[in-house]
Structure 1
């Protein structure tokens, strides 16, 4: 059997064995955390102890932890919920200041408000490394501070791994009394994430990005955060997120968050070493490969330790993806597929990369289960895949 190298941890990272055991044990126990009988109270105890564990891991108070189904729901609750609440209180507040390189869970929520609710969006631009600065945000706010409903800026980019100055952004927003949200889905487990120290009012996290199960996440929301809920029903989670709580998933997420934060230092060192070996090895292949975004050997502050984003001229990323997959290398491209039509990544275009250059992108992301063998397998497989992808592209263009 061919060796399989999993290099797509930014999409989902394998659930940690300890987490699987904890989830299985809880599933066998059962119980609805909203029930008042013995089993229900036991489930509630698990939920509240997990809430405390998540709060400790992420630097917030237990009352600030709102359990959700994952990053997408948390982003939607943060964006729509804040805009609805703030705009409802003051009709002048219709403007959203949002990073141009956000995940689609944020972008599509914003676009919904623009097209259906009359919101206005100003995009926070980025430089060639994918980073924005607080000075630009200040300029956008000062055009009309009273019209700004909220600011949203992701902690670390899901495609190119660029880390944003979240605390600086939050500080500027707060000078004008504007709430700030950050999507920290990619940051937890690779960067120190302290909600209180960040200054953010709202923070999104998703368990399956740091060794927990899929289908569970959190929105950290300060006690004074004003949000209109997306759903209504039983009034769970401060009446912000009604619905029966996923007790087993919550228990698994709490354990994963604890492990990820306890092991952060050694994990950063390990992942950065693997990332740097992958990038250096790819550049040494003589294939005219380019690295997207800022990269310094050993650095874990400007770029996520586990992120390597490469652009390979003369190739279509989708072709490379399929060729690598056939050889046992599992990764992703830098493009998003919308309505069945491959499109260049909005992140790369916002960074000033040409559409043609953006089409030859590969995102290679590492995690807690990654090894030297994964990197070696990728580097061994890449040259043949690039050669075939380039020949295929040339043939499709009539040999040009």
Structure 2
């Protein structure tokens, strides 16, 4: 399969010029190794190489020797020795671009493992955004929107049925060459492997596949909603009884370590009003295809259940925006206050520039979304938080344009980095 360039390629290349080692993290099968290979001069694949793991027992330097940048794939197989060995080697060589490490699980904190400050740079990867896989034209750039550049009117080629299919297919690179039925089955198998194997690899003492599967189903039902552990606990009840809150927390920690659960934190600006800010994050699985698989919802089911489709569409948008935001050194938040004003997405760059977006599947919801965005902007204490660089409604509709009130309508099929 021909390699498709990823947004992360630019980030990896930049970090190799400034750091001794680049750590690429992301869920299993999102394309980390393929991307790392584009930048590596030599490689060792630790998960499948018994000889390399044996060499680690003798002297980690045997594994670290090779043309640079040297790829250490699935480095968490022996996290402490490799991390400390890479750190020491980077210090000894005193040059950037020595190593690329890839991993699909975050190791436990280990007091023996140095933080790596000043030696390691981190790049996060996810399944492919629509602009990466070619389904979005990228004509409406997030960068340009945050720079305040008004976009030209345009039209997306994606229809609502197309978007339902893309939710179910997901952004996994291997799924791009599958038909819809095979891609949906692959997502179901991915979920089963998380419950049956991946969680057990992290902690064999308390991982029950049936309970893990019910929790994944509950998380799918709560996609794009605030994380409320009590609600999850109730939904995970099964024939073996209720799951304790502490057990739910344990599972959530491990799902984060596998980078399958990705939470969308709440944004906390200064307000003019006395409204209190809500602080719970929103819940997303790393790709909406996992949520549709957990719910056993194919494209036809989503088209018949627009409420569920709308939530999974929002998760699709958040997935893509996170990838585009990475290229801008920005983060993706949501906003909610005690007046029940909710804004689906706030993207804020490190320099403080931000934009606010509502996510609506249909064109008929744009007016209400624009009104909410304008109320939100009026609430902000602009002297402290600044004014939004852009207010936008990201939709599943075809047409992109700027409304008379200044709110930008952005079809997802036109959104890009």
Q: TM-score, normalised by structure 2?
A: 0.28
Highest RCO, 1 vs 2 (Cα 8 Å, sep ≥ 6)? 1
Q: TM-score, normalised by structure 1?
A: 0.29
